[in-house]
Structure 1
Amino acid sequence: MARIVDFYYAIGSRYCYLAQSQVARLEAIGRVAIRWRPLLSEDLMLARGLTPFKQEAVSVQYLPEYRSEDAARWAAFYGIPYREPAWKAIDWRRVNMAAVAAARVGDVAAYSRRLFDAAFGGGAQAVTDHDLARLAEEAGLDGKRLVSLIDDRETLTLHKRTIDAAVEAGAFGVPTFVVDGEVFWGNDRLVLLQHHLAQDAA
């Protein structure tokens, strides 16, 4: 039986884009299944009562300029494209809720990959409902139905359950991977997660 690794992520996160590119490598370690669990990172931080983004940056690492440079370096290391999206032109809440809706209609992983690729691989300048539906169709989902479910009560309830589960597991930001009761936060902790999974697989 495969070990389940919960992957909590938000589409509008540079570091989630980076981390999701390594999921196949994690699954290849042996008898590991990644459970994709999209959420709004600001809602997770609000639920935890802690966020580094409300006030003036407390450290250079939280400045957008540094994070963009850092993400580009990681992308080059992984050998994947990285282009900055038009941050303020995109309704990231709606994009993320579209990913949550995908969990109700089909392959949330395939759809999330399409969203990530559009946002950070292609440097999206806008993401309309038409784009959300088109990307869903490309992922093998019913695009029209998916868009219709974005604001649906059950989608909002699913998102709330995901936030609650993330908080209960100890997650405080994204990307977060949870397995065996242990929390691995951040793209740069993937090497530690790989080590943890490899030890057990051996």
Structure 2
Amino acid sequence: MPDKARPRWYFSMRSPYSWLAHHDLTEHFPDVLETVELIACWEPDQPMTERLDAAGVKALYTPMSRAKHFYILHDVRRLAAARGLKVTWPVDRDPTWDVTNLAYLMADQAGKGREFLAACYRKRWAENKVIWDRAVVAEIAGELGLDPVAAASAADNPELQQRGVEHMARADKEGVFGVPYFVHGRETFWGLDRLSSFVAAVRGKPVRDYPDYAWRAGVEETDLWVRAGGDGGHAGGCG
């Protein structure tokens, strides 16, 4: 049974904002990252879609307009630059996200879920690797001491498919409409720019102790402007 008292983070390996949230949690709030339950959300393939339909579960996916896509390209570049990160924007041609996410669930069962997620974000956003390629998944698994063959074929595993349904059923039931999405008690927080509020809630501290963009502590506003290439703007929360 899910522990509803435990803070939760609904993430996507496809989402650049989830990647940046992972960076901020890792670099600045590792205690919170260690505390939260990680719940994967993704656009399912077959036969996952059939399983979801049979269970009456709606997967989290919102088509993106061309204008929104170009906005995100610029927004993520600004946000990454402000963090001293260089983003290599991947090109997803006919992605099969079941391959990556069900391998993540396999790694999580083995106690390596967080390491697998970190490796996927690094390879996707820093190394421009196709993380839904089975060979890349096998490579990640091997680096973590997991069975590369089992990881590469995780999308074909009925047990892991069912676990994937359970993950997305939780997102559907909890009303998750975009990622990154954070939950603590009855409080919900959507988007990268609400991460610091979520951190405050988890730590039981006033929100004022964790201003938005807490990662820029010690950076002068003018320096941030130059490094980011303009106004940091709204961090967004879409996938």
Give the aligned partner of residue 173 of structure 1: 178
Residues 1:125 and 1:161: Cα distance change in structure 2 (over 3 Å)? closer
For 1:41 and 1:53, locate their aligned partners in 2 and report how far apart those are by CA, in whole Å: 11
Query: Residue type matched to 1:53 in 2?
Result: P
User: Which of 111, 120, 126 is the equivalent residue of 1:115?
Assistant: 120
For 2:109 and 2:204, locate their aligned partners in 1 and report how far apart those are by CA, in whole Å: 34
For 1:88 and 1:178, locate their aligned partners in 2 and report how far apart those are by CA, in whole Å: 32
For 1:49 and 1:161, locate their aligned partners in 2 and report how far apart those are by CA, in whole Å: 11
For 2:129 and 2:80, locate their aligned partners in 1 and report how far apart those are by CA, in whole Å: 17
Tell me how far 1:12 sits from its aligned partner.
1.1
Residues 1:51 and 1:175: Cα distance change in structure 2 (over 3 Å)? same
Q: Normalization by structure 1: what TM-score? A: 0.80
Tell me, yes or no, if the aligned pair for 1:40 and 1:96 is still in contact at 8 Å: yes
Query: Residue type matched to 2:191 in 1?
Result: G
For 2:130 and 2:168, locate their aligned partners in 1 and report how far apart those are by CA, in whole Å: 28
For 2:121 and 2:150, locate their aligned partners in 1 and report how far apart those are by CA, in whole Å: 20
What 5-or-longer segments of structure 1 have no aligned partner?
none
Give the aligned partner of residue 9 of structure 2: 7
Give the aligned partner of residue 31 of structure 2: 28
| Greater radius of gyration (CA) | 2
Tell me, yes or no, if the aligned pair for 1:23 and 1:34 is still in contact at 8 Å: no
What 5-or-longer segments of structure 2 have no aligned partner?
210-239
Q: Normalization by structure 2: what TM-score? A: 0.69
Tell me, yes or no, if the aligned pair for 1:9 and 1:176 is still in contact at 8 Å: yes
Pairing 1:77–2:62 present: no
CA RMSD across the alignment:
3.0
Q: Deviations over 1:140-169 (max 9, x none)?
A: 322222223222111111111111112222
User: How many residues align structurally?
Assistant: 193
Tell me how far 1:103 sits from its aligned partner.
2.2
Give the aligned partner of residue 149 of structure 2: 144
For 1:91 and 1:5, locate their aligned partners in 2 and report how far apart those are by CA, in whole Å: 29
Give the aligned partner of residue 163 of structure 1: 168
Tell me how far 1:90 sits from its aligned partner.
4.1
**Structure with higher strand content:** 1
User: Which of 27, 37, 40 is the equivalent residue of 1:38?
Assistant: 40
User: Which of 99, 107, 111 is the equivalent residue of 1:106?
Assistant: 111
Residues 1:119 and 1:89: Cα distance change in structure 2 (over 3 Å)? farther
Query: Percent identity at matched positions?
Result: 22
Query: Residue type matched to 1:67 in 2?
Result: I
Pairing 1:67–2:69 present: no
